[in-house]
Amino acid sequence: MELLKDSRKKEWFWIENSLIDNLDLSTYEKMIYIVLVRHLDDESTCFPKKSTIAKEAGCSEATVKRTINSLEEKKLIKRVFRKDKKTGINTSNLYYVASSKLGAHTEPRGGSDRPANNTHINNTQLTNNIYSPAEQKEGKTNDKVIHKRIIDYLNEKVDKSFKSTTKKTRDLINARLKEGFVEEDFYKVIDNKVHTWLEDDKMNVYLRPETIFGNKFESYLNEVPRMAKNGNESVKQNKEVSKNKFANFEQTFTQYSNKELDEIIKKSQKAKFEK
């Protein structure tokens, strides 16, 4: 079993032509294989949940289950069942993804070590990296640049000094990128949570990488900022109401309709001429 090497750049991933040309594979088999390749890590493995695979492939979880079985029968993937050591509960499966090239469908002779779940497949042959050493170095540099841009944006919004070189912060960002999120998603999450938490004395302490880039990242991304019917209510509440109706031009238009303003102006002009 010849495994695919995860040697892509994070903004995109590649698929072998032999997968597209394989007439023996169904549409779902090709789509689910592509989803698994998208999630590959640098050890040629991935472990997305069935619900994630179903969502990204556009099918039901039952279809995912059937298709995973058929891909394993065709020796395009190797599945390893995993359990939580403490609870004994099944967790997401670990998948080794084979090359789809013709002639590569041999029994696995081994692979890499996964210390987290004690999975061992030894002496697995990996395909050559499609990038030169210089390009691989460039890819790592690009990751550092992405980390810096994201953290710089967060610091600017919350007036803090978080570092993009912190291992925990890098790991959180990389984890979200491997799940398929893109750089722009981080900016949107930052904007959403700044809008919600910045003026909240209890919640603004959580405007930090470990909170907003953690497991609730997708929920934060899909939040819709609350706006009052007639504009931003928090801004209105902070405005001092003047007793003089014309002391603040913007305030006047906020409090009165066009019809009411016309009446006020007419009364004011009438009073002026009567004097």
| Measured distance CA(206)–CA(197) in Å, rounded | 8
Specify whether 166 is located in the same domain as 75. no
What does the pLDDT look like over 71-82, one tens digit per residue? 999 889 999 888
Give the range of the structural domain holding residue 197, as residue numbers without chain letter. 133-221
Specify whether 67 is located in the same domain as 149. no
Single residue among 77, 94, 120 that ends a domain in this structure = 120
Q: What are phi and psi of 183, to 5 degrees?
A: -55, -40
Higher pLDDT residue, 238 or 10? Answer: 10
| pLDDT score, position 167 | 93
Pairing verdict, β 94-97 and 77-80: antiparallel
Alpha helices in the chain (DSSP H): 17-21, 27-38, 50-57, 61-73, 133-158, 167-178, 183-197, 209-212, 217-221, 233-237, 249-255, 258-274
Distance of CA 209 to the CA centre of its chain: 14
**Domain at 100, CATH number:** 1.10.10.10
**CA angle at residue 139 from 135 to 143, to 5 degrees?**
165
What does the pLDDT look like over 184-203, one tens digit per residue? 899 999 999 999 999 998 99
Specify whether 22 is located in the same domain as 51. yes
| pLDDT score, position 145 | 85
Residue 35 falls inside a structural domain: yes
What does the pLDDT look like over 37-67, one tens digit per residue? 988 887 778 999 999 999 999 999 889 999 9
Specify whether 57 is located in the same domain as 108. yes
* Burial class for 264, CB neighbours closer than 10 Å (0-12, 13-18, 19+): middle
Residue 7 falls inside a structural domain: no
- Global pTM reads 0.37
What does the pLDDT look like over 107-145, one tens digit per residue? 343 444 444 444 443 444 444 343 445 544 444 556 788
Q: Which residue has the tokens 């980390």?
A: 147
- pLDDT above 90 (res 233): no
CB 106 within 8 A of CB 125: no
The residue-averaged pLDDT of 15-22 equals: 86
- pLDDT above 70 (res 90): yes
Give the pLDDT band of residue 221 (cuts 50, 70, 90): very high
Give the relative orientation of helices 27-38 and 61-73 as an angle to the nearest 10 degrees: 90
| pLDDT score, position 98 | 87
CB 254 within 8 A of CB 230: yes
The residue-averaged pLDDT of 146-175 equals: 92
Residue 243 falls inside a structural domain: yes
Specify whether 50 is located in the same domain as 76. yes
- pLDDT above 50 (res 244): no
Buried b (16+ CB within 10 A) or exposed e, 123-141: ebebbeeeeeeeeeeeeee
| Measured distance CA(92)–CA(83) in Å, rounded | 8
Tell me which long-range contacts 178-187 makes (C-beta under 8 A, separation of at least 24). 178/39, 178/41, 179/39, 179/52, 180/38, 180/39, 180/56, 181/217, 181/218, 181/221, 182/11, 183/146, 183/149, 183/150, 185/217, 185/221, 186/150, 186/153, 186/213, 187/150, 187/153
| Measured distance CA(205)–CA(198) in Å, rounded | 9
Specify whether 141 is located in the same domain as 86. no
| pLDDT score, position 249 | 46
| pLDDT score, position 5 | 55
The number of distinct structural domains making up the chain is 3
Nearest to 214 by CA among 175, 156, 158: 175
Specify whether 107 is located in the same domain as 164. no
Give the relative orientation of helices 183-197 and 133-158 as an angle to the nearest 10 degrees: 10
| pLDDT score, position 86 | 82
Residue 194 falls inside a structural domain: yes
Residue 228 falls inside a structural domain: no
